[in-house]
Structure 1
Amino acid sequence: MHIHNLSETRSILNTFVAQLRDKTIQKDSMRFRRNIERIGEILGFEMSKTLNFSQKQIETPLGQKSTEIMANEIVICSILRAGLPLHDGLLNYFDDADNAFISAYRKHDANTENFKIIIEYLTCPSIEGKTLLIADPMLATGQSMLSTMEVLKPYGIPKEIHLISVIGSQEGVDYINKNVSENVHLWIATIDEKLNDKGYIIPGIGDAGDLAFGPKLQK
C-alpha cells in the first residue's frame, strides 16, 4: 500500500487537525464538521495529482484554450455517520462523482472489550473500472475499512482504490497495509502512536460521529 501522510509536510492542514483535537473548539459541532470537510478538500486535492488527465479544448468568449481535465470516473463511498463531513469535502472537489454509503459500527461482546464490525446498510452504484474513494475520518483498528472493501466486491472491480482518512493509529495503518494489495493508496492527515484497550486512537480526538452530530442512541 502507498501511504501518503500529509502531516509530514507543513501546511494549513495541520491547523485544522489541531482544532479537531482541541477539546474546547470541539464544543462547536458546526466548526468541527467544517474542519473535517476542509481536510477532505485538501486530501482530495493532493490525491487528484495522481489521477489521469486528458486534453480538452475549451471555448471561451474570446477564443479557445487547450486544458488538461481529469479523466477518472470517481465513486466516493463514505462510512456512516462520521464519514459525512469528509464525504462533503471530497464531493466539493469531485462534484461529478457517483456516491455510495455504508453503515458500519462496532458491536461489542457482552462485558468485554472485544467487538466485530456490523454492516446493516449499503447503497452503491457500479464501481467496475472506476476510481473508488473510501472515506472514514478515523482509521483506528482498520477493520471498518477492510469490511467495507469486502462488501463492495459484488459491485465490480475498481480501477484503483484510495482510502481517505483524517486520523489513524499506527496499528490500524499497519493492519490495512498487511491486508490490501500494493496498488491501494492511503491518504491521511496524520497518524497517531497507538490504540487504547478499547480500540480508540490515542491521543486522537474522541468519537468523531458524536462530535459532529451529537451522542448516538445507546443500545
Structure 2
Amino acid sequence: MAMASTSLPSNVHVSTHPCLRAKLSQLRSKDANARETKALVNEIALIIGCEALATCLENSPSGTAETPLDYTYTTETTTPNVAVVPILRSGLGMLEAVQMLLPEPVPVHHLGLFREPTTLQPVEYYNNLPYHRPTSVNPDPFPIPEIAILLDPVIATGGTASAAIQTLLEWGVTKVVLISVLGSEAGVKRAAEENGSEGVEVWVGGLDGEVNDKGMIKPGLGDVGDRLFLTIGK
C-alpha cells in the first residue's frame, strides 16, 4: 500500500493508522461483497473522520449539568458551526460514520456530480445547498456553516472533488474538510490546491500512485458506488 509522498501539499494528511490500513487492504479485494464493502467503508470513514475532526473542531463551555451522584460539572459543545456534504452516490457510505462522531446533529446537504466518460470532466446534476439571502433576523437561524465536511470515498483525477470544493467555497463556507478513503497522488494534490489551498484540508485513508485511461485509480478499489449499491460495474 502506498505511503504519503513527500511532495504532497501540507494540507494533505494521509492516515498511518494500522487498523485503517488493514481494513483498506480488505476493501481492495474484489471478493468483498456489498455488505462487507459497506461495513469497511463505514469503519474506515470512522477512523479517518476521527483524525480529521480532531484538528478542525474545538470545544467551548455550554453550561452546567449534574452527574448521577448530583455533582455539578461544566458541559462542553463543539465549535464552529458545521455541515456535512456527501457527494452522491458513494459519499453516502461515509455519512453515518461522521454523524456518529459529531456530538450533536448537524445539517446534511448533498451534491451530485459524475464524470463525463469521454472527457472525465465533472458534471453537476444535483445541488441542495440552501439559497442564502440577507436576513433581518439576528442571529440568522440558518447560517452558512463555517466548516463543510465533504465526503467522497475515492479521489481519482480530483476533478469531482475540486468542483465540489469550489461550489462550497462559493456558497460561503470558510473551510472545506475533504475526507476520503483512498486517493491518487495527482488527484489528491489537485483537490488540495483548489482555491490556492486556502481554506481546504484533505484527509485520506490511503494513497495510490496513478489512474488508468478511464480515470480509475490503480490498483484502487474499483467503483465504490457500484460496489455499495450492486449496480453495473465499470
Taking structure 1 as the reference length, what is the TM-score of the superposition? Answer: 0.87
Aligned counterpart in structure 1 of residue 87 of structure 2, from 72, 75, 79: 79
Secondary structure of the residue aligned to 2:222 is coil
Retained in 1: the 8 A contact 2:165–2:194? no
Aligned counterpart in structure 2 of residue 38 of structure 1, from 40, 43, 46: 43
Give the counterpart letter for 1:211 in structure 2: R
Percent identity between matched residues is: 28
Higher strand fraction (1 or 2)? 1
Deviation at 1:150, TM superposition (A): 2.6
Deviations 1:137-164 (A, max 9, x none): 0000111011112333453x22321011
Give the counterpart letter for 1:15 in structure 2: A
Secondary structure of the residue aligned to 2:226 is helix
C-alpha spacing 1:165/1:217, structure 2 compared with 1 (3 Å): closer
Q: Does 1:65 align with 2:73?
A: yes
Aligned counterpart in structure 2 of residue 55 of structure 1, from 53, 56, 61: 61
Deviations 1:25-58 (A, max 9, x none): x2x2011011111111112211221212112433
C-alpha spacing 1:216/1:124, structure 2 compared with 1 (3 Å): farther
Q: Does 1:89 align with 2:97?
A: yes
Partner of residue 170, structure 1: 185
- Deviates most, 68-77 or 196-205: 68-77
Retained in 2: the 8 A contact 1:99–1:124? no
Alpha-carbon distance in structure 2 between the residues aligned to 1:160 and 1:53:
17
Aligned counterpart in structure 2 of residue 143 of structure 1, from 129, 153, 159: 159
Give the counterpart letter for 1:54 in structure 2: S
Retained in 2: the 8 A contact 1:2–1:183? no
Partner of residue 202, structure 2: 186
Alpha-carbon distance in structure 2 between the residues aligned to 1:213 and 1:197:
24
Partner of residue 28, structure 2: 21
Alpha-carbon distance in structure 2 between the residues aligned to 1:102 and 1:43:
21
Alpha-carbon distance in structure 2 between the residues aligned to 1:178 and 1:130:
19
Retained in 1: the 8 A contact 2:87–2:113? yes
Aligned counterpart in structure 1 of residue 117 of structure 2, from 105, 108, 111: 108
C-alpha spacing 1:32/1:96, structure 2 compared with 1 (3 Å): same
Alpha-carbon distance in structure 1 between the residues aligned to 2:227 and 2:28:
11
Deviations 1:73-120 (A, max 9, x none): 2111111111111112111212512101111111123xxxx2321111
Deviation at 1:182, TM superposition (A): 3.7
Total equivalences in the alignment: 209
Secondary structure of the residue aligned to 1:82 is coil
Runs of at least 4 residues off by over 6 Å: none
Give the counterpart letter for 1:178 in structure 2: E
Taking structure 2 as the reference length, what is the TM-score of the superposition? Answer: 0.82
